[in-house]
Homo-oligomer: A and B are copies of this chain.
Amino acid sequence: MLGEIIAIGDELTSGRVLNTTSYFAASHLFAAGHEILAMTTIGDEPELIGRTLQRALQRADFIIVTGGLGPTTDDLTNAAVSSALDRPATLYPEILKKIQAYGKSLPAGQRVSLEKLAWLPAGAHALHTEAKTAGYFLVQDGKPIFFLPGVPQEMEDLLLETVITRLAVWEGEEVRQVRQKVYKVVGLAESEINRRLAHLEGRDPRVRIGYYPVFPEVHVSLTVTGATGNEAEAAMQKYDGKMVESLGDCCYGSGGDTLESVVGRLLGDRGQSVAVAESCTGGLIGHALTSIAGSSGYFVGGVVAYSDALKERLLGVNREILLRSGAVSAECARAMAEGMRRVTPVDHALSVTGIAGPGGGSEDKPVGTVYFGLASPEKTQTFLFRFSGDRGQVQAQASQTALDLLRRHLLGLNSLVLIMDAGQSKKNRR
């Protein structure tokens, strides 16, 4: 269906807050098979809200409105809707009861007058069954209009949980159900992912695949529909299997997974620990690992060996290696990882040394050249990658790659790597 998204709030038109909710809605509606005609952002002005809504009704099949539903006086969306669509504000006792029950469970300081949230334009239906967040829908001129909170998390939850399903119901002759899943992919270009999934696209009208690059990863959404919930779930199960198979071991997780949360879970499950020896990433890998609550259970810490002196002094890297092969070499990466394991009792030590740029590159070792070491009880492996991009992008890719090398090692997977030994270079899957 053809949709229109309207975001309301003075904080948006004055440039104080970046509007991410319209983007979120557009990407997920697109993945669910809809097309967005226009995304409009306007301030908290009742007349303009009314006019914008009227115009959208003339040209779109459905409308998503976000913002201005809260309990304070500058939240004017409901009043504007009542006036523009001639639907007098009406008290919904059922909603009021739920809101009041919810309000009582809040700490005293957070209890505000929530009664305003139960006054909605006539004909409105609450979206959240427990009325824990604002949000309703109504049908005007045979078209559904969804009113969602402006708070990104609340808006996103309601969109995924209720709006996409209700829109699917609207669309067909029969009641349709929708299921959606997002796959997280690392180490594969968008074009290669596209190639791998091409055979799943365009054959079955119930299936839609969306691509969302989130540097340095790519996220892929699978949306399936069915005439019933069971049918949708069966289709999801079938295509979920095909997706996982086609994406292969470059897909590290789904939904809310992050690479660092997955690595943390793998380490935790095995009762193993990791330390890092970082040069060109400067602490980024440690930062990623410690962004997860509870990471002290498996992350010991490490050394940011940015200077050669620290590589020698804290990691015991032999000066010979630094003189002969340089700090950016497989030998140095190996020595850093093994040195880290000597410093403290730890199962795995990851090391990174490379040239983030913009300076420091040579013909032999251009900017983006990064060596990795992974020392584990049984062996030490080294890897060479060549990344492109600016300094920040090289660092981000290096950090992500280091974590992925550990993930692959923990899962016993092969790593596609460039190995460089004693001046020789060959591309190899091992």
Q: Is B313 touching A344 in the complex (CB atoms < 8 A)?
A: yes
Q: Can you list 27 contacts pairing A with B, beta carbon distance less than 8 Å? A: A13-B35, A13-B38, A14-B36, A15-B24, A15-B29, A38-B41, A40-B40, A278-B286, A279-B301, A282-B286, A282-B287, A283-B283, A283-B285, A283-B287, A283-B290, A283-B302, A283-B304, A290-B306, A290-B395, A293-B357, A301-B310, A302-B303, A302-B306, A304-B304, A309-B344, A310-B344, A314-B314
Q: Is A304 touching B282 in the complex (CB atoms < 8 A)?
A: no
Closest CB of chain B to A76's CB: distance in Å?
16
The answer to whether the Cβ of A389 comes within 8 Å of any Cβ in the partner chain is no
The answer to whether the Cβ of A66 comes within 8 Å of any Cβ in the partner chain is no
Closest CB of chain B to A290's CB: distance in Å?
3
Closest CB of chain B to A160's CB: distance in Å?
13
Within 8 Å by CB of A26, from B14, B22, B276, B302, lies: B14
Chain A residues at the B interface, C-beta cutoff of 8 Å: 12-16, 18-20, 22-31, 35-43, 48, 52, 211-213, 275-276, 278-287, 289-291, 293-296, 299-307, 309-310, 313-314, 343-345, 356-359, 391-392, 395
**Distance between Cα atoms of A310 and B302 in the complex (Å):** 8
CB-nearest residue of chain B relative to A278? B283
Count of identical protomers in the assembly: 2
Closest CB of chain B to A305's CB: distance in Å?
5
Contacts of A313 in B (CB 8 A): 343-344
Closest CB of chain B to A16's CB: distance in Å?
7
Contacts of A314 in B (CB 8 A): 303, 314, 343-344
Closest CB of chain B to A221's CB: distance in Å?
10
Contacts of A16 in B (CB 8 A): 27, 211-213
Q: Is B284 touching A287 in the complex (CB atoms < 8 A)?
A: yes
**Distance between Cα atoms of A275 and B13 in the complex (Å):** 43
**Distance between Cα atoms of A38 and B52 in the complex (Å):** 10
**Distance between Cα atoms of A364 and B392 in the complex (Å):** 39
**Distance between Cα atoms of A209 and B145 in the complex (Å):** 38
Q: Is B40 touching A28 in the complex (CB atoms < 8 A)?
A: no
CB-nearest residue of chain B relative to A13? B36
Q: A38-B48, A309-B345 are in contact. List 17 more A-B contacts (CB 8 A).
A: A15-B29, A18-B20, A18-B23, A19-B19, A19-B23, A38-B41, A38-B42, A278-B286, A282-B286, A282-B291, A283-B286, A299-B306, A301-B304, A301-B306, A307-B344, A310-B344, A314-B344
